[in-house]
Each structure stands twice: as structure tokens, then as C-alpha cells.
Amino acid sequence: MSETSQPLKILGLRVGGQLFGVRIDCVSDIMRRDSETYVPWSGRKIAGVMNLRGHVVTVIDLCASLGMNDSLQTRMNIVIEYHDELYGFLCDSVTNILDLDLADMAAVPLVLEERWQGLGEGIFTLPGDLMILLDTARLVEAATP
Amino acid sequence: MDDIIAEFITETQEGLNELDTALISLESNPEDRPLLDKIFRMLHTIKGTCGFLGLSRLEKTAHIAETLLDGFRQGDRKATPADIALILSAFDHIRSLIASIQSTGSEPEGDDSALIASIQAAIDGSVDAPAAALPDARELAGALPNVAAPDIAVSDVVAFPKSDTPEPQTGVAASVSAAAVSVDSASQFLRVSVGTLEKMLTLVSELVLARNQIVQSDRLHEQTGSAPVQRLSSVVSDLQDCVMQARMQPIGNAWTKFPRIIHDIAREQQKKIHLEMIGEDVEIDRQVLELIKDPLMHMVRNSADHGVERPADRLAAGKPETGTVTLSAAHESGYIVITIEDDGKGMSPARIRAKALERGLATAEQLEAMPDRQVLSFIFAAGFSTAETVTAISGRGVGMDVVRTNIEKIGGTVDLESEEGRGSCFKIRIPLTLAIISALLVEDGAQRYALPQIAVQELIRVAGDTPEHIEMAGGQPVMRLRGHLLPLVDLHELLKLDSPNEGTAQKKYVIVTNAGDTRYGIVVSKVLGTEEIVVKPMASILRQIPIFAGNTILGDGQVIMILDPAGIAATAHIANAQRADETAAALTRAQENLSSMLLFRAENETPKAVPAFLISRIEDFQRSAIENVAGKTVIQYNGHLMPLHSIGDMPQHDVIKTLVFSNDNSGATFGIMTDDVHDIVGVDLHIESNGARPGFIGSAIIAGQATEILDINYFSGEEGWKITDPADQLVYRDEPRRRILLVDDSAFFRYMLQPFLNMAGYDVTVTSGPKGALSLCDNGRDFDLIISDIEMEEMDGLAFAETVKNQTRWRHIPMVALSSRDTPQDREKGFSKGFSAYVAKSDRSALLSTLKNVFDDAKGEKK
């Protein structure tokens, strides 16, 4: 891994108590969860679709995607742009924006649950917490029914 | 200046700029195959347009550059810097010609032979001395007028903010999304970028939402209809219409160039070609139109160039001298289907196999195993062409790969059918995902869905008290609609919604839908009305869900799914829809040869059948609800006691599937209990009456199995097709049974008449048509009387009677006509052909008395 410093802005979020992060540069909106339209046949990972200023956003349930227990507190929706399409990630809460350095990122340790292996870019050790940087592209692909 | 030329200039200038960049990057990566293909396609497009516009200098220049490029593509030579320089000089030459066309409106006089010769020299000397041509080229490039300055000036004028759509991949698309304002001041039209239109539409949708919210809050404050709000409302609606309309164009706009193209090809190749265009006014989304315009041009050109043969060849093949290329467009269940069909020589699977092998696209074994249809699809591979001669028009294998790329880019499909010697047909299906459509909004499970109005044929309310109702046949819901049997799909079940189904008793709606060749009904619990919707494509990760064609945002801001009738049909396995429809058709054709039989099991393993049209319902009765009253099995049904019959012992299931029959006249109903109902099939019924036991007319082979045909009369216990007057039945008791031959191509009547006449004491033989009857005659069979239908397909009853009376040993057998047409003229005609009597089909007692009279007369004559 390169030792040169590569500053990185990450949006922290929580799902089922665990701290995760997404790169802030792909985030287009952070909003309260709105009611989605359920899409039949779409599988558990897709919460539905919703309207964001005239664009259709496909909302992905992070809780289900990350294989965690159903959370009743999914109050926030982080909308990201991926391949010219908008995807929303439902999470419990949004924490803050973290200024980190890519050089400090470690690979997702194998001890972590297997289900997170493919979905995280890496892991950051923060004071008193661990944050898994989510790979949004993989999450979107993995939600494909 | 001509609009087309102005458009060509803008497009070409943009194309050339891209070509320059691409060529330069090719110089550093000469092995970059996709890049090479891209350059080739772009140049080909320019060349094609030049040819069409009659700009021969440009065309020649482009052609020679393309020939050189083709050498790289074929692998004959490597792209050397010298070659690139030559091609660039050709591009510069094209630029200077275009600049001149732009200022004068026509191609200038001049000679390009020096440039062409130098490139030709490079091509000819391809292997040994490619560099030899280089000095020439440099000299020539230097000698050309400096064209850079005017070009830059032009670019500045036409520059327009690039839309935020992704960078296009091909030259074809490039001319679409990179927008430019026409510099032609005489024109009242502006070229506006699709991105801008798209953005306008999004903004208008937003505006509509905001408007709706304002209207709502206005209502809450009880200031209903305040003037500014009303005004806002109507302006927004008008604006929405305007923006939507701006995106629609008749497809004919893309076709205007085609007649000329066909004309030119025909002239150049001494062919006679007629271009037929159907459906020019089909409105199509602007964006789609732009994207399919060039693919269509390629295909039309290919059809004329490769497809249609020369007049002499056509005559030799027994075809009319003039070949026809048919271009048609139509809406088909939410898709726009465009077909390009020619009656030319078609494609040779053998040649395509050979070419594919040569190109290394597949091994000989693979090709051998491939069906012809699959082999045909090789023509969509890049650089694939089976044309024997490379002409300026086509034949370099550019085109079909571009065609497919462009069509698939918008989510469409292109299919090819070709029969060697008969012609080829390309069928392009473009989904509605880019269009604005009228949709029927329905609701199920508290969620709304849109169904393209175009796919909706009719809407039927069904409830317990309506004439149409949902029935079950073989576990599949079906509905009888004007004699047609319509397979149904319950939306609620299809969508696998968790919420409880609102019950079959609840009133529902059946939306009769057409998906391609399949007709079926979608059962929904609520219909909300129609609305114009803006179709938005499904997110790419949801696109594989087959039952949705897209989604849309409604006026209240909610996103809803658009159902895809074709996808639903495929998913719900309306496999038998086609067959059911055939069955239904058979039923409606006034009960002709084909009869629709419902197959069921009862008593034993031998399948039983009964004509489907006799059944009014199929019910599931709880065994516990079945009662015994005075020795009769009955059930309470619609407030009455309905008798139930069983064939053999009563079925032992908890739920008994029961066929319910009702008499249209008397309203009396009865049920026949079954073990299982398993299918409805259309069959040509040949009932064998020998050895029939009570309750059955006889047996027939249905679906390869000996099947017993139920005799409803036996169970009905009522009048009708039943011998009620004992006198009728007993008349000939003391004499040998009279033999009657019944000739009727209607299975229905054969089915009804045979047992009826049997019971009247006659020995009845049935045949489905005059031919069968005449063969019985040839086989030495004899009858005492022939009853014949008049309206029959293979030979009408009059001709049959004439034949019998004039040409057979049956000439003395009395004949009775049975017809639904019963005017004095008809009767007169019948008698003149040799019928002894004429009876209306509906008059059963008249038939019996007529038979009696005829036999009595015959007896009298004998005496």
C-alpha cells in the first residue's frame, strides 16, 4: 500500500450499531427516509423506488444487504450516483464527515463476517470505533435481484 | 441551402473532428481494434451520406480513405504513420470541400485525382513500399488550401453546450447527442439537444408536482379555485403538453431520405426496386427516432443492395422483375415494431457458415451443430459481410454491428428471418422506455401500477352477478368472452404480494391484453383510470425483472411500476394462450369442425370429455356441503337446490370439482361431480358410438387417448334434445332400424343430433363432410336416408346433393337438408338439387316429423 498521504472524505453512517462509511464524493443527497414504492420481484435487498426531484431512485436496504438483523430504525437515506443512476442506501443514522487518509486504510480483516468481505473497500481504525468503508458499486451489484 | 445539406455539414464537421482525434490515437495504438472499427464506422457514415446527397468528390475521397483503412481492418497491413498522414490529408481535403459547400451550397468543380492516386498507390504497394507514397502525401497536404481557419470559425458558431448525457460511443450516436444550432437563418427550426429536452421534461414534472401541492394546500384553506392557482394550473398543463409534444415526431421523418437512396441504388445497379412504406405517421419519441434513423438507413440500403436481385435473376427465379422493400412501423403492445422486409434472394446459411469459419468466429463443428437461425445472427458480428463484391454502398460489413449496437443501446431487439431465395425480414422492437404513453392505472395490494393503454383491448368488470366471470380450468383461471376462452393472470398472485387477496367474490376487473400474438386477461381489483405518463427506464439492476417495462412518476410524486404485458405473458406461462385462443376461435366459428372439449376424470382412469361450451361454470364444492334429499344428491347453489350427478361412485375428495350445466331457456341447473378437471383442448371430434354405455354418446381419441364423451341429455333430466313423445320413439320399433347418414361439418350438431336420432330409434352414422360421405358410398355402405347440412366448407350441401343424385349409386336415397338458412328461395334451391325435404336447424320436432314423412312416402312409393 502506498505510504503517501491520500486525503479522503468519508460520510459515516450506522446500521445496526456498526459504523460504516461511504465516500462523500459519490453522495448526492442525504435525506430522511421517505416512503418507497415496493417493487415486486425485487428481492429483500431492494426497499423500493422513490422520487427525488423527478428522478427515480432505487432504494437499497443496507440492513438486508449487509445481512444484519432487521432494524426498525432505518430513518435515513443516503443517495449516491452510480453509472448515471441514483441509488439510495437506507441506514439508521448518519454520523459525520470524517477526514481520513487512504493510506491508513487496512484490508477488511478476515475475522469479520464473510458477508461483509466483498462489500467493504477497507477498514479504518478510529478512536474508539472501527469503520468499514463500503464499496457502493459492489453493494449496488449485490442488490441485483 | 437545403436543410439536409445543412444538417450534413454540421454532422460531418463534428464527425471529422472526432475522427482526427481517433486517428491520432490510432497512430500510437495501431492494434486497437475497437478504435479502428469506430473510425471505420464514422467514415462509412460520412461516405454514405455523401453518396446519397450526390456529393461525388466527397464520396470518392471518403471511399479511398476507407479502402485504405479497410486494409488495416482486414489485417493486410499495419497502420503506419505515413498511412495515418495520408488519411488525415484526405480528411483535410473533405474539410475544404465542405467549407466550400457551406459557402456556395454546392460541391466545387475540381479534381481530386492526385490525392486519390497517392492513396491508391499506398494501397497497391501495401506490402513492399508503403512509405513510398509518403512524400506525395506530404506534398499534397501542403498544397491543399489552408482550411483550418474557416473550420474553426464554423465550429464556434455551431458550438452548443454539451449535454450531460454520457459520451456517445459511435459516430451515429455522436450526431444525436452532440447538439448544434442550425446556422440556417431561413429555417424556423432549431436543433435542440436531447439533453435539454430531457431536462425540460424533468423540470416540468417537478413543476407539476409543485402545482399539485399548491392546489392541495389551496383546497385545505378553503379558497377553492383562487384565480392565480387556476391560472398556474392550466399553464403548467399546457407547458407539459408542449414539452412532451416537442419530443414526439412521426417516424416518417426518418424515412424521407429512403426513397432517394433506393432510387439511386436501383439506378447504379440496374435493378428495379419498389419501396413500400407503411405507418409513417406512427409517433415516436424524438430520442428514439434519432437513434434508429441511421441503423434503419443501413438496413434499407442493405436490403436494396444485397437483398434484391437484378431483374434478370429475379425473372429466372420466377419472381416479378421489380423487387419490393417494405418498411413498416406499428405500435405493438407498448413496443414500436419496425420491419424491413425484402423479397430478394435472402441469406444463405451455407455462405454465412463458410464466412464465419473463415473469420474464426466458430469452429466447423460448432457451425455444423448450429441451427440456421443462429447462424444468421453472425451477420451482426463486426466486420462480417457476405457480399461478394464490395461496392461503394455497402458490403464491407459495416452496418449490421452498428445497427445492433444502436438498437440494443436503447433496450431494443433486432431479429432476422431469412429464407434463401425468398427474402429477408428484419424486425426491430423498440421498447417504450423512452416514450411518453397513455397508461391505464390499476391498483392491487394498495399499490398502483400502470399498464400501457396500447396493450389494453378491453376492460371487463367481473363479479358474481355479471355474465362474465372467472372460472378455473385445469388449475388456470380462465374467462369465457364471446365464445373465446381467455386465459387469465391474477395480478395479485403474479406480483406475489403479501397482503391478502381481496377474495374472489370481490368485484374485479379483467383487462384484456394483447402481447404479440398472445391474448390474455389480467385480473386486478381496482381500475383507477388513464393518465399520460412519462416512461422512465427501470434502474439497471432492476431491469431483469421481466414483468415491468419501466417506471414512472405520477402527479402526486409517487413512483409506480409500468407492467409489461409481453413479459407477464412469458412469466405467467400463458403457454396455452395460443392454443386456448385457437380453441376459442373454434368455438366461435359457429361451432365448426373444431370443437373445444373439456377433459376431466371421474369414476376411473379413462378420460372423459364434454364440449366446453355446454359448461356454464366449474365450481369447487365442499363435500360436507353436499346433501342428500329424497335419494337425490343436491347442493345449495345460488339459493336453489341443484341436483348433482356422479359418474360411478361419488368422488371421495374433500373438495369436489363440479361441472355446472345450465339450460339457457329454463334456467335449470345441474352439476356433474368429477375427480379432476385437467384441460381444455380443441379437437376435431370423431365420435365412435359403438358400445357406448348409458350417459355417454360414445368415445373419441382426444390428445392421443381414448376418451369417453359425456351425454349431457342423459343427466339433464329435462326436455330439449330428449325424446319426450313416446310415439316418436316407438314408431319404427316393429321394423328394422332405419339407417341414417348425418353429414354435418359442425361438431356441435353432430354431437347433439346423433344421440337424439339414436333415441328416436334410428341407426345413425355420422360424417363430418360430403367427402367422407362419398367415400362411405364408395366403400359400399348403404343408408335409408341422408341428412345433410347446407353450409359446409369443403363442399356445400347443394353440390353434395347434386353429386349424390347424378353420379352415385345412392341416387335413390332420399335426402333431407338441414340448414340455418330457411327462406323460400333456399328451399327452392334445395329441392331443385334433389333434396326431398328442407328443415331448419333449430326445429327439432320438425326434423323428426319430416323424417317420418319421408320414410312414409318412401314406403308408399314402394308399395
Output the tens digit of pLDDT for each of chain A's 145 residues.
445 778 889 999 998 888 999 999 889 889 888 888 999 988 888 999 998 877 889 999 998 888 887 666 778 999 999 988 899 999 998 988 988 888 888 887 766 666 677 788 888 988 888 898 999 998 998 888 8
Is B557 within 8 Å of chain A by CB?
yes
pTM of the model: 0.43
Name the CA radius of gyration of chain B, rounded. 37
What ipTM describes this predicted complex? 0.90
Is B561 within 8 Å of chain A by CB?
yes
E-only strand ranges, B293-446: 323-332, 335-342, 413-419, 423-430, 436-444
How many DSSP H helices and E strands does chain B contain? 27, 34
Q: Do B559 and A41 touch (CB under 8 A)?
A: no
E-only strand ranges, B351-446: 413-419, 423-430, 436-444
Name the CA radius of gyration of chain A, rounded. 15
Q: Looking at residue B52, what is its pLDDT?
A: 73
Is A7 within 8 Å of chain B by CB?
no
Is A39 within 8 Å of chain B by CB?
yes
Number of neighbours of residue B188 by Cβ within 10 angstroms: 6
DSSP annotation of B688: B
Q: Looking at residue A46, what is its pLDDT?
A: 92
Query: Environment class of residue B456 by beta-carbon count within 10 Å: exposed (0-12), middle (13-18) or buried (19+)?
Result: buried
DSSP annotation of B303: I
Task: Name the residue in chain A with its Cα closest to that of B491.
Answer: A40
DSSP annotation of A38: P
Strand order in the sheet with B655-662: B615-622, B655-662, B669-673, B640-646, B632-637, B627-629
3-state secondary structure of B861: helix
Q: Looking at residue B82, what is its pLDDT?
A: 79
Q: Looking at residue B400, what is its pLDDT?
A: 76
Task: Name which of B497, B540, B553 is nearest A51 (Cβ-Cβ).
Answer: B553
Task: Name which of A55, A140, A145 is nearest B545 (Cβ-Cβ).
Answer: A145
Amino acid (1-letter code) at residue B701: I
Is A52 within 8 Å of chain B by CB?
no
Residue A67 φ/ψ, nearest 5 degrees:
65, 35
Q: Looking at residue B300, what is its pLDDT?
A: 87
Nearest to B338 by CA among B426, B422, B402, B253: B426
3-state secondary structure of B642: strand
Query: In the structure grid, which three cell numbers stand for residue B564, read together?
Result: 409489461
Kind plus residue range of the DSSP H or E element containing A54: none
Q: Do A54 and B540 touch (CB under 8 A)?
A: no
Residue B100 φ/ψ, nearest 5 degrees:
-70, -40
DSSP annotation string for B646-685: ESSSPP--SEEEEEEEE-TTT--EEEEE-SEEEEEEEEE-
d(CA A65, nearest CA chain B) in Å: 14
Cβ density class B547-556: b for 16+ within 10 Å, e for less? bbbbbbbbee
CB B376 within 8 Å of CB B347:
yes
Residue B710 φ/ψ, nearest 5 degrees:
-70, 140
d(CA B132, CA B143): 18
d(CA A23, nearest CA chain B) in Å: 21
**CA distance readout (Å), B177 to B195, B288, B341:** 7, 12, 29
Q: Looking at residue B560, what is its pLDDT?
A: 92
d(CA A4, nearest CA chain B) in Å: 32
CB B98 within 8 Å of CB B48:
no
d(CA B437, CA B368): 45
d(CA B462, CA B468): 6
Q: Looking at residue B736, what is its pLDDT?
A: 66
Task: Name the residue in chain B with its Cα closest to that of A138.
Answer: B541
CB B160 within 8 Å of CB B180:
yes
* Pairs of residues, one from chain A and one from chain B, whose beta carbons lie less than 8 Å apart: 68
d(CA B754, CA B741): 10
Mean pLDDT for each 10-residue chunk of chain B (863 residues)?
72 76 75 81 80 80 84 77 80 84 79 82 62 41 39 33 37 34 50 78 77 73 72 85 77 80 82 87 78 83 86 89 90 79 86 82 75 77 57 50 70 78 86 64 88 82 73 73 79 74 63 74 88 79 87 82 85 53 39 60 84 74 84 81 84 84 63 83 63 71 79 60 41 62 75 69 80 84 88 83 87 85 81 85 73 77 52
Q: Looking at residue B505, what is its pLDDT?
A: 47
Q: Looking at residue B842, what is its pLDDT?
A: 60
Strand order in the sheet with B559-563: B526-534, B436-444, B447-452, B559-563, B548-553
How many CA atoms within 13 Å lie on the side-chain side of B593? 7
Q: Looking at residue B169, what is its pLDDT?
A: 37
CB B488 within 8 Å of CB B496:
no
CB B466 within 8 Å of CB B477:
no
d(CA A77, nearest CA chain B) in Å: 16
Q: Looking at residue B684, what is its pLDDT?
A: 59
3-state secondary structure of B471: strand
CB B266 within 8 Å of CB B258:
no
DSSP annotation of B536: B
DSSP annotation of B692: P
Q: Do A46 and B558 touch (CB under 8 A)?
A: no
Q: Looking at residue B652, what is its pLDDT?
A: 82
Residue B840 φ/ψ, nearest 5 degrees:
-75, 140
Note the pLDDT tens digit of each residue in B746-781.
665 676 677 667 766 777 888 878 888 888 888 888
Q: Do A54 and B206 touch (CB under 8 A)?
A: yes
Nearest to B212 by CA among B554, B559, B560, B561: B554
E-only strand ranges, B445-576: 447-452, 456-462, 470-473, 476-481, 484-490, 508-515, 518-524, 526-534, 548-553, 559-563
CA dihedral A83, A85, A86, A87 (to 10 degrees): -70
Kind plus residue range of the DSSP H or E element containing B92: helix B81-104
Alpha helices per DSSP H over B660-818: 712-716, 726-730, 747-759, 770-778, 797-807
Partners of A82 on chain B (C-beta within 8 Å) are none
Partners of A41 on chain B (C-beta within 8 Å) are 495-496, 545, 547
**CA distance readout (Å), B571 to A42, B441, B490, B548, B564:** 15, 21, 12, 11, 10
d(CA B570, CA B256): 37
Partners of A50 on chain B (C-beta within 8 Å) are 559
Partners of A42 on chain B (C-beta within 8 Å) are 542, 545
